[in-house]
Amino acid sequence: MTKSLWERVEETGIVRAEVTIRPSQSPRDPIWILTILECPICGKSHEHGGGLVSDGPPALGSRVPHCFRRPAPRDYELVERASKEGHEP
């Protein structure tokens, strides 16, 4: 049986949102785009910035949700989504 968002928060204290990672198409100072395909809070898609590509790997970790479902956790942790072949860049 799949646990609800609130059961998972109660167990771990953390809401995790899987993201896909891609660089922006900007020719100057591209940034990492972190896309949540299905938000664990509202079910919609959201994007967060992950820092400059030139600074190295994307900055994952805690973010404020972009959705407005209430009640909602005050933050969630972005984690890289594993692909079938391994991890996406």
Q: Where are the domains of the chain?
A: 5-87
Higher pLDDT among residues 51 and 72, named by residue: 51
What are the residues facing 35 on neighbouring strands? 20, 47
pLDDT in tens, 3-40: 666 566 666 667 888 999 999 998 889 999 999 988 88
Torsion-angle region of 15 (φ positive above 0: left; ψ -120 to 50: alpha; else: beta): beta
Residue whose pair of structure tokens reads 């949540």 in the numeric block: 36
Q: How big is the chain, counted in residues?
A: 89
Rounded Cα distance between 6 and 37, Å, is 20
Question: pTM score, two decimals?
Answer: 0.73
